[in-house]
Amino acid sequence: MSSTYGENLKLSIFGQSHGPAIGMTLDGIPAGLPVDFEKLQQFLNRRAPGQNDWSTPRKEEDCPEFLGGVLDGFTCGAPIAAVIYNKNTRSGDYDNLKNCPRPGHADYTAQIKYGGFQDAAGGGHFSGRLTAPLCIAGGLCKQWLEELGIRIGAHILEIHNVADDNFDFLNPQLDAIATDFPVLNQKRGEEMRLHIQDARKKGDSVGGLIQCAITGLPDGIGEPMFGGVESRISQILYGIPAVKALWFGSGIEASQMFGSQFNDDYQVIDGKVITATNHNGGILGGITTGMPVLFCAAIKPTPSISKPQQTVNLKTGENTTLEVQGRHDPCIVPRAVPVVEAAAAIAIYDMILGNTQTDRRK
């Protein structure tokens, strides 16, 4: 329910930020799929902190250990289980975190829901660190999708009012974004970095937008109503901390366009049916058209800032001022890019596994 996802595959994520380990189990995966551990590690490194100048200087190594499900480089049909042991485990007194919730974090809602029993250290199970096991699962799904000719790639679309170019909706430039600060327009990327540095200096933070494209997806994937591609992707995407908006294709511009503009006309080119535009983001009635699937997610500014903030001491019931210690990402958007890709890969691979309709027909 809470930290599990999937209709055909079953993903279960566990762990707390400062607990002994974080990890995941992934059940329902066919046997005989290859696992490229090196490629997976490269993918995980894109999310890991401390890799560059625009993220937190904390160094964490995200090296998964596989406890089951993979044998001699192939899936063996048993549930896949992998853990990342925490180097900096829990120590000290975290009562202050329980008493004086940090604005924008889940401290307050966790305290309400779990009545003080929650693991408050570093945000516990609500920590962004839990996106690491999500990236293990997603990194694997991404590999298996690539085997099927399906590619997933995302770039930073906007950081604090500085906008990158949009993907070409008919031919997303997936090869152009394979850098550690993935943007299409490098000059805008430079500007974004300056804004991030500026926020850091101010003890503040900034958010942004991420745009993701999925290419090579067969038509006919997804189910009607609540099993549509938008429904399946959105459920997992909103499981990423800090995601507060999501749209598909030109969805956000729905109120700016006439139907005659938004509708994607069909045409035959080289015997293949394609659409002349792709405002619907490759999805109609929840089902893929065969055109690239495109969506955008908005990431809120990192809640952890150095500036003093107003909060409440839940024990005394008095207003108080909080200064969050430690060094944090002034902008989580670049590290969230692979997480968005991972979430999309899991959702898509789940739908591919469940696509009995098209299997039967063939």
Considering only residues 108 to 137 of the shown chain, the ones binding a second copy according to CB under 8 A are: 108-110, 112-115, 117-119, 124-126, 130
Instruction: Give exposure, 65-102, as e/b (b: 16+ Cβ within 10 Å).
Output: ebeebbeeeebeeebbbbbbebeeebeeebeebbbbbb
Q: Which is nearer to a second copy, 23 or 153 (CB)?
A: 23
We find the least distance from the C-beta atom of residue 332 to a second copy, in angstroms, to be 10
Give the residue, chosen from 51, 166, 197, 311, that forms a contact with a second copy under the rule CB under 8 A.
311
Site string for a second copy, 164-193 (x = CB under 8 A): ------------------------------
The CA distance from 12 to 9, in Å, is: 10
Q: How many CB atoms lie within 10 A of CB 165?
A: 14
Q: Which of residues 12-51 bind a second copy (CB under 8 A)?
A: 12-16, 19-23, 25, 27-28, 30-32
Residue 116 token pair = 């003080």
Strand-pairing partners, residue 284, are 287
Judged by CB under 8 A, the residue of 105, 155, 193, 335 near a second copy is 105
Q: Which stretch binds a second copy (CB under 8 A): 42-50, 167-175, 179-187, 287-295?
A: 287-295
Q: Which is nearer to a second copy, 81 or 174 (CB)?
A: 81
Rounded to whole angstroms, how far apart are CA atoms 3 and 296? Answer: 23
Asked whether the beta carbons of 194 and 258 are under 8 A apart, the reply is: no
Q: Compare residues 44 and 120 and give the one whose CB is closer to a second copy.
A: 120
Give Cα separations from 188 to 77, 122, 143 (angstroms): 45, 33, 30
Residue range at the interface with a second copy (CB under 8 A); choices 38-46, 47-55, 106-114, 171-179: 106-114
* Contact between residue 283 and residue 293 where contact means Cβ atoms under 8 Å apart: yes
* Binding residue for a second copy, selected from 293, 305, 342, 344, defined by CB under 8 A: 305
CB 295, CB 236: distance < 8 Å: no
Q: Which DSSP string corresponds to 19-66?
A: SSEEEEEEESPPTT-B--HHHHHHHHHHH-SSSSTTS-S-------EE
Stretch that binds a second copy, among 39-47, 49-57, 174-182, 240-248 (CB under 8 A): 240-248
Site for a second copy in 249-278 (CB under 8 A): 249-252, 254-268, 271, 273, 275-276
| Rounded least distance, CB 61 to a second copy, Å | 17
- Shortest CB 175 distance to a second copy, Å: 25
Q: Among 37-45, 52-60, 180-188, 244-252, which window interacts with a second copy (CB under 8 A)?
A: 244-252
